[in-house]
Amino acid sequence: EVQVLESGGGLVEPGGSLRLSCAASEFSVGSCVVSWIRQIPGKGLEWVSAIVARGETHYIDSVKGRFTISRDTSQNTVSLQMNNLRVDDTAIYYCAKGRPSASIFDYWGQGTLVTVSS
Amino acid sequence: ETVLTQSPATLSLSPGERATLSCRASQSVGIALAWYQHKPGQAPSLLIYEASNRATGIPGRFSGSGSGTDFTLTIDSLEPEDSAVYYCQHRGSWPLTFGGGTKVEIK
């Protein structure tokens, strides 16, 4: 059964760093798009970052230069390194697997909460 | 960036009624559009991809239509478990974007 499991969320002060991890089961992170998508409390979904099968990475403008997505195909994981965190980065972060050759997400994890607060 | 505008923001209907949700794109995305259902405390789930294709395991009462800039998600014969927020998302170009969501309430 395809599964996606996030970890690494927590409470951090503004300007701090966190590293989120996404562990994949029954699919290869090197063969599809894997994205991080967040939901700010009380708000809608916001796509944050993606790494595609060819290894290209993409980011929403508000996190460029602060967040870095990467993958480890030997561990079958995707990570999101988040630096210089801001209060408005507070959200539930979901990892999601893309359908074959498409950035449409057919499997999502349960999410991990990131709280940025002093 | 392609902006997706969903309407209405909230839809309150009775069981058995039909829900019609709209998603309008600021520029053409062809049929590169998906719909998701998101219930509180759960992960979002894919309903429709490529504008009109139901994802695996999705009941036939959910259907999608449209192309270009105007898309519709229709839920026939609403059931209590359809209470959720529904989002559209395009995959036509980077950055990916989601619509603001439509909350469907079952009376």
pLDDT in tens, chain B (107 residues): 999 999 999 999 999 999 999 999 999 999 999 999 999 999 999 999 999 999 999 999 999 999 999 999 999 999 999 999 999 999 989 999 999 999 999 99
Cis before residue B95, ω within 30 degrees of 0? yes
Give the 3-state secondary structure of residue B103.
strand
Task: For residue A78, count other CB atoms closer than 10 A to its CB.
Answer: 27
What percentage of residues in chain A have a pLDDT greater than 90?
Answer: 96
Q: How many degrees, rounded to 5, is the angle at CA A58 between CA A70 and CA A96?
A: 65
Chain A residue nearest residue B6, CA to CA? A44
Which of A45, A58, A110 has the CB atom closest to B94's CB atom? A58
* Residues B25, B8: Cα–Cα separation, whole Å: 15
* Residues A85, A77: Cα–Cα separation, whole Å: 22
| pLDDT, tens only, A98-109 | 998 789 999 999
pLDDT of residue B73: 98
Do the Cβ atoms of A33 and A52 come closer than 8 Å? yes
Which of B34, B44, B95 has the CB atom closest to A108's CB atom? B44
pLDDT of residue A102: 85
pLDDT of residue A95: 98
Task: For residue A99, count other CB atoms closer than 10 A to its CB.
Answer: 18
pLDDT of residue A89: 97
Cβ-proximal residues to B90 (8 Å cutoff; 6+ apart), any chain: B2, B4, B25, B29, B32, B33, B34, B96, B97
Chain A residue nearest residue B34, CA to CA? A104
Interface residues from chain B to A (CB-CB < 8 Å): 34, 36, 38, 42-46, 49-50, 55-56, 85, 87, 89, 91, 94-101
The average pLDDT across A68-88 equals 97
The average pLDDT across A62-86 equals 97
Cβ-proximal residues to A115 (8 Å cutoff; 6+ apart), any chain: A9, A10, A11, A12, A90
Contact criterion met (CB < 8 Å) for B49 and A99: yes
Tokens representing B88 are 């559209």
Nearest CA to B83 among B55, B67, B105?
B105
Do the Cβ atoms of A90 and A40 come closer than 8 Å? yes
pLDDT at A85 over 80: yes
What percentage of residues in chain A have a pLDDT greater than 70?
Answer: 100
| pLDDT, tens only, A4-18 | 999 999 999 999 999
Which of B34, B49, B100 has the CB atom closest to A44's CB atom? B100
